[in-house]
Chain A
């Protein structure tokens, strides 16, 4: 069964800490995405990656960075965690050319609380 795995389901971090959220997919997908989801708002795109070592800012990249050194892994980095980054973070992937019949494949999310 193909999957996208996020390393932690729940995470509590302190303000100012550097936080790493890891996402691994086993489907050889080129594109990977990081979204955050907050109550009353849609999923908002933080960063995405077309392929290995390629990255592009999404709609809300401030305070975040990403790393994609290998095709299967896409890491989201909170450089200095702040309380307004408390949120549900979702990773997703897709294979180029499959989007007509297939949607994104999502991980199950990481609920991050910054205290």
Chain B
């Protein structure tokens, strides 16, 4: 089982502040890195699928970067809003995993007004 580590485990952010958190994964046999947002009582929702070293993706106020050589990805939230409160999961796919994702434990983000 490959280790995908996310840090921090949780963080509290004031509304309007920006924040970021990390996903670390093994750099060998890299195929793709996924980010999901999981709000309470809802389904996890795909945010980004990243495949190339140096990839940067953006969706509204949320963006992500990818470094496959050193095995990490950052997720950034700019100007956090209460609706950004969720658990953010990253997941890693290797070239020999046949489409299976290995998930990290998630970073729980709580945005307070």
Q: Which residues of A contact B (CB under 8 A)?
A: 4, 31, 33, 35, 40-45, 48, 50, 58-59, 90, 94, 96, 99-109
Size band of the B side of the interface? 20 to 34
Residue of B36, B42, B100 touching A45 (CB-CB under 8 A): B100
Q: Is B77 an interface residue (CB 8 A)?
A: no
Interface residues of B in 21-80 (CB under 8 A from A): 32, 34, 36, 41-47, 49, 51
| Interface bits B90-107 vs A (CB < 8 Å: 1, else 0) | 010100001111111110
Residue of A42, A59, A99 touching B49 (CB-CB under 8 A): A99
- Is B51 touching A100 in the complex (CB atoms < 8 A)? yes
Smallest CB separation, A40 vs chain B (Å) = 6
Smallest CB separation, B54 vs chain A (Å) = 16
- Is A103 touching B105 in the complex (CB atoms < 8 A)? no
The interface residues of chain A lying within 8 Å CB-to-CB of B91 are 42-43
A113 to B32, CA, bound (A): 34
Interface residues of B, dominant DSSP: loop
In the complex, residue of chain B having the shortest beta-carbon distance to the beta carbon of A60:
B1
- Is B100 touching A107 in the complex (CB atoms < 8 A)? no
Residue of A31, A40, A43 touching B99 (CB-CB under 8 A): A31
Residue of A42, A58, A100, A101 touching B106 (CB-CB under 8 A): A42
A43 to B43, CA, bound (A): 13
Smallest CB separation, A29 vs chain B (Å) = 11
